[in-house]
Amino acid sequence: MAQLSYVSGSVGLITLQNPPVNVLSAATRQGIMESMKKALNDPKVKSVVICGQNGVFCAGADIKEFGPNISGPSIVPLIYDIEVANKPVVAAIEGSALGGGLELALTCHYRIAHSKTRLGLPEVTLGLLPGAGGTQLLPRLIGIPASLELITTGRHITAAEALQLGLVDHVTQSDTVDSAVKFALSVEGEPLDSRRISKRPCPHLPDLDAVFEAVMQKVRQKFYGAIAPIACVQAVRAAATLPFSEGMKREQQLMSTLFTSGQARALQYSFFAQRAVGRWSMPSGASWNTSKARPVHRAAVLGLGTMGRGITVALAQAGVSVVAVEIQEKQLNEAREHVYATLERGAQQSGVSPSCANITYSHDIQAVADVDLVIEAVLEDLSLKEKVFQQLSAICKPGTLLCSNTSSLDLNCLASQTKNPELVVGMHFFAPAHVMKLLEVVYGSKSSPEAVATAMQLGKKMGKISVAVGNCRGFVGNRMLKPYIEQSYFLLEEGATPELVDKALEEFGFPMGVFRMSDLSGLDVGWRVRKEDGLAEPVGTSGQITRLRGGRRYSPLGDILCEHGRFGQKTGLGWYQYGRPGGRVAKSDPWVFNLLEEYRARLGLTARPIDQQEVLERCLYSLINEGLCILEEGFASSPEDIDVIYVFGYGWPKHRGGPMFYASMVGLATVLERLDHYYRSNPDVPSLKPCKLLRQLVASGSPPVHKWKEITKKIQNRL
């Protein structure tokens, strides 16, 4: 797992060999330790270079090894041995140097990096801190403010930024190992004391207390509820205020608390879940490793409203050439300006040139004739979309993939309008489409595995986390949102306020509670759907209110707000008041309180005290139950798919892993017991009825999430 060889007469070259990314597994640590010892004891060796095989230095500790029983040599003494070595040790960094990998490089006496290398201490994103000396070494090398920023965000930086910060000594464009070996030869025999970072004082910072206080406040706000960023700040503070050895003790102390935390487990689960969703499968058995994606060089976006514009930007930024089509001239011109400005802004932020040249605009649908793939993003209206798919099927060259950005319509209906329904898939982006990481790739009953593979690959190219899901109402994300919103309305009927419900959800970790979120996305969207479904009936001021519709309990509260023109932020009024149309700051609205009181009085409902626990149980457990139904029915192939969708598309707090992981943390038996309890008192609310899979999982001893697939398969086979 690490190999010592000899080059240029006097250089011992230690190569980490743990593909694909040379993580510091027990065997790799052992290999480094033995190779170092051999090199240092060999009188022919005058200097040492450490590199990684296959163009990657090291992606840090092996996350799979984390747990109560870690075997092999500890990482801290291992890297300490490198720093105290009496021969110069040079890190030859290429590919990635992350986490423990960067810490390994920090204990070397010199760091040479290839210009394309990414460096960082991303432990915080795994619920940890850089616990192999990173919190003590980095501030001594690059100062406290820069270290705080890198360690609390886990941001990866380029070699150029690393050079600017003083994190690396030299950046090369040519062969990294060759450069490092030449460099090692040039420093053989030179004194090393000044090169040992642990021996340096931490750079002085005036107003130390004020700096740390401000950072702590920022971190608490930005990463609400997360414990790792706070521990990171505390550890860096130790570097600033304590001698190195004491700081190291503090780092270890803080690390041991984090290491066993539920948050670290959730975040590490999420790390692997993000990668697992790429290994998609369909109920037919087709999957990522049996299906080949087609290349997409040229794509079209049809409809340049908010979503179409965002998708155009994301495609252009991914280097795909785009034909952007909008039939209304005015909308087309506005879209052109908007896309240009967004690309310019993005280019300024990232320091690369904007990709505007890749886009051609047209108001003629015929312009899509020779593209490889079309993404339709016209209004969410079935008959309009059906017409568009008929046209696309007639215009596009044979083999063009036809994708819809619909968030709610039946993909099979759209596919049935085309000559080749196997070429139709959903690409459900989330607003703003160039920013949000999530993409649901929806397969209909006729979508070919090749079409799914192509959409998944294009999503990846656009920097999205793509999840393949089946074609059910609302797909995965929006379908699970329905019972969650429904419960929040019922809670209002029973005595809660929008403020109380939102507070509970925001304290849980959502960036916005359900009512603030609804105001942001617009209450009229759901109202239109409910009207189409025949659920929303005009209530007026004196009309009778029926709470049982379609055989189940229904709350018309959202409809009543819409009848009053309260569509949320865009009209300045919704569940809250915003001062003006388009306002963003939510203020409580006495009108809503009065409405709730009058509504309850009309229906003879008595308000009762409702606590945060009940809000969480009813909103979250009904959402979880729907997720389990989706798994049971096979519309998502794994709990990881659902969790990734919720974390990256719906603001589920990252440090809680996702709804399925959270349910397993709370205890599936507890979730079942609470759902049973609420369903008993609300038998007209079917979303509270625990699904078969939940009962089965509990009966099977509540296995961990990665074992659920065995049980879902059994249920699906029986169906």
Give residues in contact with ligand LOHRUJSQ (CB under 6 A): 20-21, 23, 59-65, 70, 75, 96, 98-100, 122-123, 126, 128, 130-132, 272, 275
DSSP notation for 62-73: -GGG-SS---SS
What would the two tokens of residue 244 be?
A: 């190195």
Q: Which residues contact 416 (CB under 8 A, 6 or more apart)?
A: none
103 vs 506, beta carbon nearer ligand LOHRUJSQ: 103
Q: Which is nearer to ligand LOHRUJSQ, 272 or 593 (CB)?
A: 272
Report the alpha-carbon distance of residue 446 to residue 427 in Å, rounded: 15
* Closest C-alpha to 440, from 455, 451, 450, 454: 455
Least Cβ distance, residue 169 to ligand LOHRUJSQ (angstroms): 22
Is the CB of 319 or the CB of 581 nearer to ligand LOHRUJSQ?
Answer: 319
Q: Is 103 a catalytic residue?
A: yes
Nearer of residues 61 and 177 to ligand LOHRUJSQ, judged by Cβ: 61
Task: Write the DSSP symbol of residue 99.
Answer: T
User: Smallest distance from the beta carbon of 447 to ligand LOHRUJSQ, in angstroms?
Assistant: 25
Least CB distance to ligand LOHRUJSQ at residue 220 (A): 23
Structure tokens at 191: 């004194």
Choose between 132 and 144: whose C-beta lies nearer to ligand LOHRUJSQ. Answer: 132
> Minimum distance from CB of 70 to ligand LOHRUJSQ (Å)?
5
The three-state secondary structure class of 692 is helix
The closest alpha carbon to 530, from 551, 502, 549, belongs to 549
Q: In angstroms, what CA-CA distances link 247 with 29, 135, 136, 222, 253?
A: 23, 9, 6, 26, 10
Q: Which of 83, 123, 326, 493 is catalytic?
A: 123
Gap between the Cα atoms of 144 and 203, Å rounded:
7
Biggest CA-to-CA distance, the chain: 97
Q: Which of 103, 251, 486, 617 is catalytic?
A: 103
Q: How far is the CB of 119 from ligand LOHRUJSQ (least distance, A)?
A: 11
Q: What dihedral angle (degrees, nearest 10) is formed by the CA atoms of 549, 554, 555, 560?
A: -30
As a three-state string, the secondary structure of 404-449 is ECCCCCCHHHHHCCCCCHHHEEEEEECCCCCCCCEEEEEECCCCCH
| Nearer to ligand LOHRUJSQ among residue 255 and residue 615 (C-beta) | 255
CB of 105 to ligand LOHRUJSQ, least distance (A): 12
Angle of CA points 429, 431, 435, to nearest 5°: 90
Q: Nearer to ligand LOHRUJSQ by C-beta: 181 or 232?
A: 232
Collapsing DSSP states into helix, strand and coil, what is residue 21? coil
What does the alpha-carbon distance between residue 354 and residue 704 come to, in Å, rounded to a whole number?
Answer: 46
Which residues lie closer than 8 Å to 438 by C-beta, 6 or more apart? 430, 464, 465, 467, 477, 644, 645, 648, 649
Tell me which amino acid residue 660 is: M
Our answer to whether residue 123 is catalytic in this structure is yes
Q: How far is the CB of 271 from ligand LOHRUJSQ (least distance, A)?
A: 7
**What are the catalytic residues?**
103, 123
